């Protein structure tokens, strides 16, 4: 591994600005939890992203790429290494081929607004899901029984050796329920292509509004510090998924708190930060919930939220 001073100098030379140090991760996560990252870089362009990731890979320096931080629980001790935030945003639509390309750091809300403004259909169910296109592809984000993997036509990826692969078809990404190959390979989504369906502006807009209204009924106020569903919906013996929230509510989830962490009164699968929660509080509460569901139903819940440990053991 190269000396950190060399890596910092190299990054500054190549991208023209220094790494930030001691950045509080709580400001980069919707949970509003997390200690300082040793180093932090917000990549605004693909060139910056490629350069900084490549330098970290070549130096064998620990790094982790994030998008909007809506599905991440950072550690109370922060992160020993470099956090790279993908802020490379941009959308390009080719009317002849109907190809819509989004850079990985584009907010999903930009993508859905773009489709709404132009009457491009098929993506309506994504309206209201926070985060970036890259984060959504990573976790195959979705709602109402559909997910982003169904909409992709191809992607551009950067692998963990820094090699870029263009024209990667969705079949290669091994999409599953809230899952993709990226969870195992740590490839980075540089861009994603979609082929929307021609539609009427008003029809696309009213379909998105209907989804947004349904979301507003289920989800708490937008300023609540949480990461959406904490656990995935488990698969039953009949091959169907059961709502984790239903199981959790039957084991008294809604009454539970640990330190500053609590379960939202309106939904058993939403764990939130009441203001002063630590990552340890959130994880302890999640462990209690998991144990109760296991004891009562024999079902092993799996976290949808990703915990990023401070020390290299995990990542
Ligand atoms: C209020 C609320 C509602 C939510 N509703 C839903 C919902 O309906 N459906 C749903 O599926 N999720 C939902 N979520 C969870 C969250 O919005 C999604 O998981 C989203 O896709 C996270 O995107 P992000 O950019 O914030 O990713 P982050 O949280 O920043 O990162 C999550 C993971 O993605 C990886 N990642 C990020 N960018 C890239 C990239 N470019 N290439 C490769 N990997 C990358 C990171 O390394 C990390 O492992 C909700 C969350 C909140 C707070």
- pTM here is 0.96
Instruction: Classify 91-217 by CATH class.
Output: alpha beta
Encode the chain (315 residues) as per-residue pLDDT tens digits: 567 888 899 999 999 999 999 999 999 999 999 999 999 999 999 999 999 999 999 999 999 999 999 999 999 999 999 999 999 999 999 999 999 999 999 999 999 999 999 999 999 999 999 999 999 999 999 999 999 999 999 999 999 888 999 999 999 999 999 999 999 998 999 999 999 999 999 999 999 999 999 999 989 988 999 999 999 999 988 889 999 999 999 999 998 999 999 999 999 999 999 999 999 999 999 999 999 999 999 999 999 999 999 999 755
- pLDDT value at residue 315: 52
Q: Where are the domains of the chain?
A: 4-86, 91-217, 221-308
Query: Which of 32, 36, 41, 45 lies closest to 63, judged by CA?
Result: 41
Gap from CA of 3 to ligand 1 centroid (Å): 32
Active site residues: 178, 229, 304
CA angle centred on 132, ends 42 and 30, rounded to 5°: 75
Determine the Cα–Cα distance for residues 111 and 127; give it in Å rounded to an integer.
9
221-308 CATH choice from 3.30.460.80, 3.90.78.10, 3.40.50.880, 3.40.50.300: 3.90.78.10
The CATH architecture that domain 4-86 belongs to is 2-Layer Sandwich (3.30)
CB of 194 within 6 A of ligand 1: the answer is: no
- pLDDT value at residue 2: 61
Percentages helix, strand, coil for the chain, rounded to the nearest 5? 35, 25, 40
- DSSP sequence for 69-85: SSSEEE-TT-EEEEEEE
Determine the Cα–Cα distance for residues 126 and 124; give it in Å rounded to an integer.
5
- pLDDT value at residue 221: 86
Gap from CA of 72 to ligand 1 centroid (Å): 7
- pLDDT value at residue 288: 98
Q: Where are the alpha helices (DSSP H) in the chain?
A: 4-15, 46-58, 108-118, 133-139, 182-185, 201-218, 244-250, 279-297
Gap from CA of 304 to ligand 1 centroid (Å): 10
């Amino acid at each position: 591994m190269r000396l950190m001073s060399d890596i910092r100098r190299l990054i500054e030379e190549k991208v023209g600005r220094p790494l930030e140090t001691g950045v509080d991760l709580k400001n980069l996560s919707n949970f509003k939890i997390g200690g300082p990252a040793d180093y932090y870089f917000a990549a605004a362009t693909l060139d910056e992203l490629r350069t900084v990731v490549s330098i970290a890979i070549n130096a064998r320096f620990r790094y982790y790429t994030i998008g909007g931080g809506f599905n991440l629980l950072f550690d109370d001790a922060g992160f020993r290494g470099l956090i790279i935030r993908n802020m490379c945003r941009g959308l390009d639509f080719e009317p002849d081929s109907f190809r819509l390309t989004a850079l990985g750091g584009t907010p999903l809300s930009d993508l859905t607004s773009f489709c709404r403004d132009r009457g491009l259909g098929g993506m309506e169910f994504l309206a209201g899901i926070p985060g970036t296109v890259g984060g959504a592809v990573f976790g195959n984000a979705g709602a109402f029984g559909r997910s982003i993997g169904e909409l992709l036509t191809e992607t551009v990826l950067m692998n963990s050796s820094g090699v870029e692969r263009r024209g990667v078809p969705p079949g290669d990404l091994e999409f599953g329920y809230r899952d993709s190959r990226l969870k195992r390979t740590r490839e980075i989504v540089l861009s994603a292509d979609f082929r929307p369906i021609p539609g009427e502006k008003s029809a696309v807009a009213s379909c998105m509004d209907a989804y947004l209204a349904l979301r507003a009924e289920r989800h708490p106020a937008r300023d609540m510090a949480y990461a959406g569903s904490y656990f995935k919906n488990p698969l039953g013996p009949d091959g169907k998924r059961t709502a984790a929230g239903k199981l959790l509510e039957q084991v008294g989830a809604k009454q539970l708190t640990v330190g500053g962490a609590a379960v939202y009164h309106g939904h058993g699968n939403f764990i939130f930060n009441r203001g002063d929660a630590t990552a340890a509080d959130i994880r302890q509460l999640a462990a209690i919930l998991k144990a109760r569901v296991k004891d009562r139903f024999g079902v092993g819940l799996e976290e949808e939220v990703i915990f990023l440990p401070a020390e290299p053991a995990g990542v």
